[in-house]
Amino acid sequence: MNLDRAYLGFYLGAVFAATLIHDPVWLACGLGLALLASGRKAMGILRQALFAVLTFNLLISLSYILMAWLQDVSPWVTLIRLNLRVLLITCLTFLFIARVNLFRALDFSPGLTFVLGLAYSQALTFRRAQDDFRLALASRSLKPPRLIDRYRASAAAAAWFIEKALHAATQSSQALRSRGFFND
């Protein structure tokens, strides 16, 4: 049992627990513990997690407030619970990514390692490509780009990603098939 695998088990357990706990106080405790475990990286992880969930949480919260207002109930406890839970799980995930070498955590199974390799290389390729789209627009802009140009550039990037993702999915399933993952 290596340390990375222990962390993986711990992470899965913690996420599962976070979905079971309903009391906002305990969720807040969990968040505090997760940040404590993050040590010096706590502020960075918290900021990263806040940014990551901002849009999602805002959208959900607003629609929930609207719903609660229409039904004339108090939304606050539910809202706090929901936001705390999403934030806690996100923090746990970022902490996990920062601490754990997934490849070592999964090294007990060659199959899982292979799947992880496929997913990881794809995520990496996409992140690099996303950087390239951003940098290319910057490189071609003599003035700060207009909104319409930013919009067009992201639309082009999105279209490119979808096309590449479809292509990559076909290839990945072929790769998996050739390794005997589907026995049909």
Partner 1 sequence: MTEIRYRPVGVDAPAVMRTIDLGHHFGGESARACEVLRDIGFTLRSGEKSVLLGCNGSGKSTLLKILNGLITPSHGRVFYQDDEINPARLKDPILHRRFRAEVALLFQNPDAMLFNPTVFDEIAFGPRQIGLPDIEARVRHWAAEVGVSAHLSRPPFGLSGGEKQKVCLAALMVLEPKVLLLDEPTAALDPRSTGWLIDFLASLPVAALISTHNLGLAPELASRALVLGENHRLIYDGPIQALLTDMEKLAAANLVHTHRHRHGDIEHRHTHVHDWQ
Ligand X SMILES: Nc1ncnc2c1ncn2[C@@H]1O[C@H](COP(=O)(O)OP(=O)(O)OP(=O)(O)O)[C@@H](O)[C@H]1O
Interacting residues toward ligand X by CB under 6 A = 128, 131
45-53, 75-83, 103-111, 146-154 -> range binding partner 1 (CB under 8 A): 146-154
Q: How far apart are the first and last CA of the chain?
A: 34
* CB nearer to partner 1: pick between 22 and 140: 140
Q: Which residues contact 11 (CB under 8 A, 6 or more apart)?
A: 92, 93, 96, 100
58 makes contact, choosing from partner 1, ligand X, none, with CB < 5 to 8 Å by partner type, with none
* CB nearer to ligand X: pick between 131 and 163: 131
140 makes contact, choosing from ligand X, partner 1, none, with CB < 5 to 8 Å by partner type, with partner 1
Q: What is the DSSP letter of 16?
A: H
Taking the C-alpha atoms of residue 128 and residue 80, their distance in angstroms, rounded to an integer, is 36
CB of 113 to partner 1, least distance (A): 19
Residue pair 114/179 in contact by the 8 Å Cβ criterion = yes
The answer to the question of residue 152 lying near partner 1 (CB under 8 A) is: yes
* CB nearer to partner 1: pick between 67 and 156: 156
* Nearest residue to 98 (alpha-carbon basis) of 46, 27, 32: 46
* CB nearer to ligand X: pick between 128 and 143: 128
- Interacting residue with partner 1 among 109, 121, 141, 170 (CB under 8 A): 141
Taking the C-alpha atoms of residue 100 and residue 98, their distance in angstroms, rounded to an integer, is 6
* CB nearer to ligand X: pick between 114 and 126: 126
* Nearest residue to 21 (alpha-carbon basis) of 86, 95, 97, 90: 86
The answer to the question of residue 157 lying near partner 1 (CB under 8 A) is: yes
Q: Which residues contact 89 (CB under 8 A, 6 or more apart)?
A: 15, 18, 19
Binding site for partner 1 (CB under 8 A): 129, 132-133, 135-143, 149, 152-153, 155-157, 159-160
